[in-house]
Amino acid sequence: MSLPKKMVEEKRKSNIVKLKKELDSALKRLKRQEEKLKKMKEIEKTYQEQEALYAEIYFIHELTKLLAKTLDLDEVAKTIMDGLVGILGAEMSFLYLLDPEKNELFLKSSQGINPKFLEKKIKVGQGILGQSVSSGKLINIDDLEKSAFKCTIFKKTPKSISAVPLVIKERVLGALGIASKEKRNLTKDELERLSEIGQMSAAALQNALFYQEIEKLSVTDRLTELYNHGHFHQRLEEELSRARRFGLVLSLIMIDIDHFKKFNDTFGHPKGDLVLKRMGKVLRQNVREIDIVARYGGEEFVVALPQTDKEKAFEVAEKIRKAFENETFEGNKKHPLVRRTISLGVATYPIDATKQSDLIACADQALYLAKRRGRNRVVNYKSSNKKLHQHKIL
């Protein structure tokens, strides 16, 4: 027997009310769960942010320790590159130092990019790094394609780049940069970190550069900027040891400026100093990087040529002689422009001598013979030279 319609309707309404209450209750439970989940995500996010912050603090601490630990310029530069990766996750990083005399930046170190794809030198004011130095401000470009700035250091332009000048006590040391192949928007915190790394790096680089300068002064003749007498002997002994170990040859060129005392007496010592400085420049321009060039004393100079036989050494000496002969110097009213000449003696290990002192003596004897034969010439050492009486000819 079927229930009356009224009872059915009341039952249906009752079920709907009950179902609504259950749905409301389930919805409230779901919202509570959502709130819990949201809080958990916030806690997890906070935890991740804290982890990232701790990692950043650790990297900054380690970077500070490493920078304070070394005075070697190459090691400092490498440490700075590592710091940019560890703290900022830099895809590409690069360090340029300033040459104040030429007013240009030169590449010192890079990471994440082959140095051959970077310009070796940049004029101050040129491109993003150059403008960062000239303005003294951090420059950040999120999207180079939409920027008016031109990136001149890369042979293949990245999408994003940031540069910070390295300045300490108003002294500009260079610039530090990071770049990405894809667009990267650095946050305010990341830009602050880059600025902080720039400040830390400038302090470390100043110490390293100062130490390098002190080391240079200890081995360099201040007037000519060549090696001094003492350091030359040390370097020559190192090269001779290497030549003995590997069965190589090594040549030595002794050089003396002709009639230098007379030049000083006629035109004065300040102009004589200019002649010595020019001699140093001529030597640097006419030898290889592996060659050892020094001011031996007074107006005497010496060049050690590793892996160079007597014939080739004679050619190098002749090239130096001709180059110096073409130089002109300021004289006086009677002689406004003056030329100087040099005499050169060449000796070779192991043909002429096997010990350092003997090799120098052989080259010196050949130099004496060059002067005796009329100066302004190159003479190779021969065993018959040993009978020559050694004394100075001005």
Active-site positions read 299
CB 307, CB 274: distance < 8 Å: no
What is the DSSP secondary structure assignment for residue 148, as one 8-state letter? S
Q: Residue 287 is inside which H or E element, if any?
A: none
- Tokens of residue 358, six digits: 């003997």
CB 241, CB 355: distance < 8 Å: no
Q: What is the CA radius of gyration of the chain?
A: 36
- Tokens of residue 217, six digits: 């002064």
> 205-230 b/e with 16+ CB inside 10 Å = b?
bbbbbeeeeeeeeeebbeebebbbee
Distance in angstroms (rounded) separating the CA atoms of residues 347 and 46: 74
Contacts of 138 (CB under 8 A, 6+ apart): 132, 162, 163, 164, 165, 191, 194, 195, 198
Contacts of 225 (CB under 8 A, 6+ apart): 280
Residue 266: half-sphere exposure toward Cβ, Cα within 13 Å: 14
